A and B are shown apart, each in its own frame.
Chain A
Amino acid sequence: MRNLASLTPTPRDAELLAPAWPRLAAELAASPDPDMALNNLERYGAAVDRSVLFLTLAEHPGAAALLARVFGASQVLADALRRRPSNLAWLLEPATMRVWLVEDLAADLAQALGPFEAREARMNALRRFKYRHLLRIGARDLLGDADLAATTADLARLADVCLAEALRFADAAARAAHGAPRDAQGAETGLAVIGMGKLGGEELNYSSDIDLMFVYGADGETAGGRADRVENGDYFARVCREIVAFLETVTDEGYAFRVDLRLRPEGRSGAIIRSLEGYREYYAERAELWERQALLKARICAGDAPVGAAFRELARGVVYRPGRDARIVPAIRAMKREIDRTLVAKGAEATNVKLGRGGIREVEFLVQALQLLYAGDDSWLRERNTLKAIFRLTERGYVAPDLGRTLSDALTHLRTVEHRLQILHEFQTHTLPSPPAELGRLARRMGFEGTPVQAARRFAARHRAVRAAVHRAFREFFAEGTPKARPRVRLPSTMALRATGFADPERARQNLRLILEGRPLVPYAGRLRAALERLFPALLDALWKCPDPDEALNQFERFLSAAGPRTGLVALLADNPELLAGLVRVCAGGDLLTQLLIAQPELLASLATPERLLRPKRGPAYRAALAEVFAAALPPAQRRDALRRAKQAEELTIVWRYLLGLSTIDGYAREMTALAEAVLEAGWLMTLEPLVERHGAPRDATGRFVPAVIVGLGKLGGRELITGGDLDLFLVFGEDGRTDGADPIEAHWFYNLAVERLAGTLGDITAAGVAFPVDLRLRPGSKGSGFASSVGTLERYYDEYGDLWERQTLTRSRLVLGDRALAGRVRVALRRVVYGAPLDRASLKEIAEVRKRMEVELGKETRGRWHVKYGRGGLVDVEFLAQALQLVHGHARVEARGASTAAALAGLARAGALAPAAADALVDHYRFLRRVSAALRLLGARPTDTLELAGPMPARVASALGFPSRDAFLDAYRARTEAVRAAYTEHMS
């Protein structure tokens, strides 16, 4: 009350505040700490013109919520805003409250620094910039607009741009004094800033120090400037010291970032910067385990790109070594024991969120240990961000799915606690408060509801459960195991393995041993062992019969270890030789398929019933299969996961059918497209439900429902989708209008939100993976525009702004979902855009130009690397040829308007635009190239559609496509792409 009185010292103030008061009061009450919020509001009021503040609160829909939330949760942000009160107007601009990309931040920083030249003034401007964006990031976090991952990544980007600026400034000053640093050959050399720890992992906290290391290219001397020439080492050391000072020095405007350099070689006593060669020598001789562990997170944040790339290459060799190092687990165990000892001494093992029992460090150590153990052989695990690393470890089967989910949930919870502790003051605290009232406020900052006492109780229960789960996993992994009982089955000798077709018998033997003994996380029980012993001879038999036993065994081992100690599964395989043989064959043919199975090993049982596999499913069957996602009253997050799992189960069947030769490439694509449409429909319903609940349904001025349709493009439009493809789509709605619910919004905003969320519903990575990545970039409208357009805007856009390439993409457009009447209108509109007027042949040149650029910039073919999609004579040649001819002839000849490439080619032949024999040949080449592309995807080639001639891929693709040898396949590929290119050149010029 006293605060309220001092907020309105005069009757005029009270009068001005009155209209804003109801909303403000409600927001204050909902804020984590209402007293603190009001207190800060009063102090803020004293720093600004109250009448302006009260008007803003009354008129701006976001002002009350923003101030109440920030003022009631974070003293440091409240103080920052009070120090610079005019930042409020910026925070209330619509364009401010979004994710800022690095380029946006860099441009904003450049503008903020523009007027200043002096060091002190630039440092001050940098600090103002940092605090302004800290306010934005904090506000979005506290308002629930950004989740933990988005917030911590945003903070890391903020640090990145500040670092780049500090480096630029420091380097310019040193250069003016000593001239450019040059290597022994006289070429200029540069410096790269390496972010470590949370900065490297793009998971920075509000008050994290930033962990840095510095590296420069090569030794030599500078060119000389105002002052003498110096050795490069001295030059760069000076630059580094200046970078640190530029960021750390406390000026009138505070500091930018605190820098921690202790992760560098030799820690505190080591040189501040080393050359690439210096690092190479150091790591070759003395890389200790903790240093390898730290380098897992190294990321080049700023500076010279070639030097950064060279360092990254060097670090990769240090961190990731082939084979499994037996010393890793005991060494990390010892490190953690040391931490425990210090904490117990302080009595903080239960309250320290970071280092305590079941805390963040235990999750990180577990993840890092697994990465150090397995990422040497499996490069997919080389991920700096801990949360993503957990996901990848689960995806690859190094962590059982349940445990993966537990760990990622736990890490998110623990990091949020850490975050909410630190946002209060800018201290680097990791200790839970003990007074119940304070704990209650923390719980409310975390979003637990109720009075502080209730919130504290709910929080404590959740926190206890999380810590217990983490610690259990940690203990199980790092437990000093009792020596395992010797298996009764004898492993075949390497000689025997080589004799039966294994190219790498050592690795095969290791895999077989793992199958029999289990990975460290999944010790086997007695019953399982018995089932395994039964499985073993049948497995060896199946492996010997399969075309690529090495790869089959690798994948089979991954699958089995991911499935965990499931006796039932092993027994099923042991009793079902046909299923086992099918699985082994599929393992040899597809990395991706094994991944699907790893996510849900229980699906294997469903594949044991062959009837299920013989017939293809169609749309209604897929819709029925997905219906179960809606059956139970699941919370939204679980529903999303359920959708992902249901989709993966169906995809598994589709791919299994293709790999066992039960369907052709066309059948495979048709089934995948039908599945995608069913998933799209389910995802659309899931997206609309909460929106309609909140905002109501969109209606026009006369009260009629405003419908919408989804237009599919690309592979979705052409029914050519295969595993790993994106859904290209955009949304069109009827007319303008408003929703009729409690919180009404414009129809265009409603659909804008809906399609944006649809992309997340299907495309976000959750513990269950993704359903389909959604790509909205082909929508009508410029890059910055909304995601939904009305029929009117759509037509206007293509008439006024549409480029030729956009018209070309529309040849693959197909109405995939939504209101029929509106679909009819949209179809007519699109048909007019695409086929309204014939394309003159001169414009073919423009299309050919685009194609040429794709070939150079995206295909990047070399003698040893081919690109099936963008390369010379690749898939895109056929697609562009078909689309270009469609634009020329489709106006006059309806039969040439097919939405798939094969249909288009056949139609063009009927229309006389292509010789029938030429069209048939192209369709056949196209099918061949798609089979190659599918094989590469299923075999897990990265980047997708790239064929490395030097690696094992050509041989594996050859055997997947049924060629007798690697060379036979490569010859066929060469001949077919030559033929495609010849046809392309003939028709496009």
Chain B
Amino acid sequence: MKKIEAIIKPFKLDDVKEALTEIGVIGMTVTEVRGFGRQKGHTELYRGSEYTVDFLPKVKIEVVVPDHLVDKVVTTIAGAAKTGSIGDGKVFVLPMIESVRIRTGEKGESAV
């Protein structure tokens, strides 16, 4: 069991969500976040006015999946979130020690 965290461009959320649903991933947690990577702290011009970009709006998706699905999920997210330009985001895979379904007390994969 692994946890997969992806930071993506917000407007790609629906594409990613639907692509994950297509391969059978049903649950996920979504958070609006702000952050920066390599594009940190530069200035941009928007319709003629200049502003400093410190943090960019991003969306964080978290899903927990059994080990055999990890590769497929990562490729699916990366494929659906890609625009080819800077700021497309990252995917992280984390080890998962335990999970508990609160309502029933089930543990392990069946709790996911």
Residues of A within 8 A of B (CB): 48-49, 52, 55-56, 59-62, 84, 86-90, 92, 94-95, 97, 111-112, 114-116, 118, 121, 124-125, 128, 132, 143, 145, 743, 745-746, 749, 753
In the complex, are the beta carbons of B11 and A132 less than 8 A apart?
yes
Chain B residues within an 8 Å CB radius of A125:
15, 18
In the complex, are the beta carbons of B11 and A87 less than 8 A apart?
yes
* Nearest CB in chain B: distance from A125 CB, A: 6
In the complex, are the beta carbons of A90 and B80 less than 8 A apart?
no
C-alpha gap A92/B32 in the complex (Å): 16
User: Within the complex, which residue of A59, A87, A121, A745 is in contact with B48, where a contact is CB–CB below 8 Å?
Assistant: A745
Known: A52-B32, A124-B18, A125-B18. Contact between A86 and B11, CB under 8 A?
yes
* Nearest CB in chain A: distance from B70 CB, A: 18
In the complex, are the beta carbons of A61 and B46 less than 8 A apart?
yes
C-alpha gap A49/B32 in the complex (Å): 7
* Nearest CB in chain A: distance from B77 CB, A: 9
Chain B residues within an 8 Å CB radius of A48:
32
B95 is an interface residue with CB less than 8 A from chain A: no
Chain A residues within an 8 Å CB radius of B45:
94, 749
C-alpha gap A881/B50 in the complex (Å): 47
* Nearest CB in chain B: distance from A785 CB, A: 13
Considering only CB atoms, which chain B residue lies closest to A55 in the complex? B34
Known: A86-B10, A90-B10. Contact between A62 and B46, CB under 8 A?
yes
Residues of B within 8 A of A (CB): 9-11, 13-15, 18-19, 22, 31-32, 34, 44-51, 56-57, 59, 76, 79-80, 82-85
In the complex, are the beta carbons of B15 and A112 less than 8 A apart?
yes
Chain B residues within an 8 Å CB radius of A124:
18
User: Within the complex, which residue of B49, B79, B83 is in contact with A62, where a contact is CB–CB below 8 Å?
Assistant: B49
In the complex, are the beta carbons of A745 and B51 less than 8 A apart?
no
In the complex, are the beta carbons of A60 and B79 less than 8 A apart?
no
User: Within the complex, which residue of A88, A114, A145 is in contact with B79, where a contact is CB–CB below 8 Å?
Assistant: A114
Selected A-B contacts with CB under 8 Å, 7 pairs: A86-B14, A86-B32, A87-B10, A89-B9, A89-B10, A92-B46, A132-B11
* Nearest CB in chain B: distance from A19 CB, A: 14
* Nearest CB in chain B: distance from A117 CB, A: 8
In the complex, are the beta carbons of A111 and B83 less than 8 A apart?
yes
| New A-B contacts (16) at CB < 8 Å, excluding given A115-B76, A125-B18 | A52-B32, A56-B57, A61-B49, A62-B47, A89-B9, A90-B9, A90-B10, A94-B46, A97-B46, A97-B47, A114-B79, A114-B80, A115-B79, A121-B18, A743-B49, A745-B48
Known: A62-B49, A753-B48. Contact between A89 and B19, CB under 8 A?
no
C-alpha gap A749/B44 in the complex (Å): 11
Chain A residues within an 8 Å CB radius of B49:
61-62, 743, 745
In the complex, are the beta carbons of A116 and B32 less than 8 A apart?
no
* Nearest CB in chain B: distance from A639 CB, A: 22
Considering residues A60, A88, A89, which has the most beta carbons from chain B within 10 angstroms of its beta carbon?
Answer: A89
Instruction: Sort A-B residue pairs by CB-CB distance and give the 10 closest, nearest first.
Output: A86-B10, A90-B11, A115-B80, A89-B10, A61-B49, A115-B19, A49-B32, A89-B57, A62-B46, A52-B32
* Nearest CB in chain B: distance from A53 CB, A: 9
C-alpha gap A121/B18 in the complex (Å): 8
Considering residues B11, B14, B76, which has the most beta carbons from chain A within 10 angstroms of its beta carbon?
Answer: B11
In the complex, are the beta carbons of A118 and B32 less than 8 A apart?
no
C-alpha gap A92/B57 in the complex (Å): 10
User: Within the complex, which residue of A88, A89, A745 is in contact with B50, where a contact is CB–CB below 8 Å?
Assistant: A745
C-alpha gap A746/B83 in the complex (Å): 29
Considering only CB atoms, which chain B residue lies closest to A60 in the complex? B51
* Nearest CB in chain B: distance from A165 CB, A: 15
In the complex, are the beta carbons of B18 and A52 less than 8 A apart?
no
* Nearest CB in chain A: distance from B42 CB, A: 11
* Nearest CB in chain B: distance from A81 CB, A: 11
Known: A86-B11, A116-B18, A128-B15. Contact between A59 and B51, CB under 8 A?
yes
Chain B residues within an 8 Å CB radius of A746:
50
Known: A56-B57, A89-B10, A90-B11. Contact between A116 and B46, CB under 8 A?
no
In the complex, are the beta carbons of B34 and A52 less than 8 A apart?
yes
